[in-house]
């Protein structure tokens, strides 16, 4: 009996690796312990390529590809950590910090924030762009959770987990470009929305944009790993 | 070798960075072997000296007075180090930026005042419309984020900068640290 598996071989950071057709560059890199920085990606959710932190270089192409959505091709030569990529990643992080009001020192996620950690990992000591200081709202109408738009980076993990995993789809994105914000229902308050109060969105939020009201100060680690367990249990049924 | 001239400055911040600097405790005595503190909130000198080797600046630029000071500091310092998130990123003082200074002054001196409601207008410097980190006004040589940077961070960074050893700041501290 033959097993019909379409195997692709490629090179990532000078390391020869093999993959199944249809796998993303990110998946294959992770399987081979090659770390590509990510922010909007979360194991267990569909990928959207929104944050662009996982951009990689492909030999022979001028275009940078987001590793989370680009699929492997036979003979591909991928570089994940060139000077050019590091420069772009720092710029992306600086733009995220400058776009809204990320005041780490007084943020509920200080010390547990993926944006903050990535900034440090990518060697950010300051933001070269002028801060935009937009006036944004905080919706604390929900009995258990709060959304602080000042800290939101529009990764859409909340939108995806609510739609793909919880099946409620109360989160969505309203507006375009820099004016985009995440909304509940048709831009109603979170507290009076059709929210099922499961809290998955809070656990997957990489920053302090979504948080649990019962947590104070910086005592608010998040546990997005639950997604993988949940997916496993569902597959087993 | 003559000692380096060190200045420390307190703009719009809470003085927490200076507290953290003082938290170096006995290591300050070692530091005093290498530098003379020529200007600081803890030194009785009113005028910023003409020649300073290292200036540590805490706090964001929030008033016309801060702006005047930071330009003078830059002009008279060989190395300018932004210390703490206010100097580096605006931090808490910049939280008024979305609303503007009038809203904040009204809240503090009119709405929340039980008696003598008036906005201070003499002696105190005029607030800038937007609070900004110091590198938006002058060139900054070294950024030391943190709220505040720890005493260990101060010690490691200053020792490296004085002796010319390599310094990996992201390994020491980050925004909000």
Give the pLDDT band (50/70/90) at residue B2: confident
Query: pTM, whole model, 2 decimals?
Result: 0.94
Task: Kindly indicate the confidence band of residue A215, based on its pLDDT and cuts at 50, 70 and 90.
Answer: confident
Diameter of chain A by CA atoms?
64
**Residue A231 vs residues A45, A129, A164, A212, B112: alpha-carbon distances, Å:** 10, 40, 11, 23, 52
The whole-angstrom distance between B143's CA and the closest CA on chain A is 6
Q: What is the DSSP letter of A174?
A: E
Residues from chain A that touch B132, judged by Cβ atoms under 8 A, are: 130-131
ipTM: 0.94
pLDDT at A162: 98
Cα gap B154→B151, rounded to integer Å? 5
Residue A69 sits at φ, ψ, to 5 deg, of -120, -15
What Cα–Cα distance (Å) separates residue A230 from each residue in A200, B107, B157, B169?
Answer: 11, 48, 45, 39
3-state SS assignment for residue B153:
helix
Phi and psi (nearest 5°) for A215?
A: -100, 140
What are the tens digits of pLDDT across the range B4-29? 999 999 999 999 999 999 999 999 99
Cβ separation A119–B133 shorter than 8 A? no
Q: Domain residue spans in chain B?
A: 4-173
Question: Is the distance from CB of A167 to CB of A196 less than 8 angstroms?
Answer: no
Q: How far is CA B92 from CA A9, B84, B112, in A?
A: 51, 11, 20
Mean pLDDT of the region B158-170: 95
**What is the chain B residue with the closest CA to A105?**
B176
Determine the residue among A131, A151, A220 to mutate to test chain B binding: the one whose Cβ has the most chain B Cβ atoms within 10 Å.
Answer: A131
Selected from 3.30.70.100, 3.40.50.970, 3.40.50.700, 3.30.360.10, the CATH number assigned to the domain covering B4-173 reads 3.40.50.700
DSSP, res A155: -
Q: Give the number of other Cβ atoms within 10 Å of residue A102's Cβ.
A: 26
B137 shares contact with chain A (CB less than 8 Å): no
The tokens of A173 are what?
A: 């994105």
Q: Name the one residue in this structure whose structure tokens are 């780490």.
A: A104
């Amino acid at each position: 009996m033959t097993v019909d598996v379409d195997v692709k071989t490629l090179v990532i950071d000078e390391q020869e690796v093999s993959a199944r057709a249809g796998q993303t560059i990110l998946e294959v890199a992770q399987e081979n312990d090659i770390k590509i920085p990510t922010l909007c990606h979360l194991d267990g959710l569909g990928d959207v390529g929104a944050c662009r932190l996982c951009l990689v270089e492909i030999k022979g192409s001028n275009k940078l590809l987001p590793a989370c959505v680009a699929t492997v091709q036979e003979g591909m030569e991928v570089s994940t950590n060139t000077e050019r990529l590091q420069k772009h990643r720092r710029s992306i992080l600086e733009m995220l910090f400058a776009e809204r009001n990320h005041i780490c020192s007084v943020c509920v996620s200080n010390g547990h924030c993926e944006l903050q950690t990535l900034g440090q990992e990518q060697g950010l000591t300051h933001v070269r762009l002028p801060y935009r200081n937009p006036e944004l709202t905080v919706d604390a109408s929900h009995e258990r959770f709060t959304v602080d738009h000042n800290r939101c980076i529009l990764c859409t993990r909340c939108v995806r987990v609510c739609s793909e995993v919880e099946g409620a789809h109360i989160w969505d994105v309203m507006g375009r470009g820099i004016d985009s914000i995440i909304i509940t229902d048709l831009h109603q308050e979170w507290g009076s929305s059709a929210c099922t109060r499961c809290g998955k969105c809070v656990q997957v939020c990489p920053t302090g944009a979504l948080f649990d009201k019962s947590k104070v100060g910086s005592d608010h680690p998040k546990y997005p790993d639950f997604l993988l367990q949940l997916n496993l249990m569902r597959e087993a049924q | 070798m003559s000692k380096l001239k060190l200045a420390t400055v307190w703009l719009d911040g809470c003085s927490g960075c200076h507290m953290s600097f003082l938290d170096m405790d006995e290591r300050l005595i070692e530091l005093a072997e290498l530098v003379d503190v020529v200007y600081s909130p803890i030194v009785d000198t009113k005028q910023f000296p003409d020649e300073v080797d290292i200036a540590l600046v805490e706090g964001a630029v929030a008033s016309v007075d801060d702006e005047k000071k930071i330009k003078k500091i830059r002009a008279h310092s060989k190395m300018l180090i932004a210390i703490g998130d206010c100097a580096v990123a605006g931090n808490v003082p910049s939280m008024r930026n979305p609303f503007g200074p009038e809203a904040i002054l009204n809240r503090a001196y009119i709405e929340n005042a039980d008696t003598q409601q008036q906005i201070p207008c003499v002696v105190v410097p005029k607030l800038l419309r937007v609070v900004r980190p110091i590198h938006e006004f002058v060139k900054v040589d070294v950024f030391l984020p943190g709220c505040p940077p720890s005493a260990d961070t101060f010690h490691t960074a200053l020792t490296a900068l004085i002796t010319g050893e390599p310094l990996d700041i992201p390994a020491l501290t980050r925004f909000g640290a």
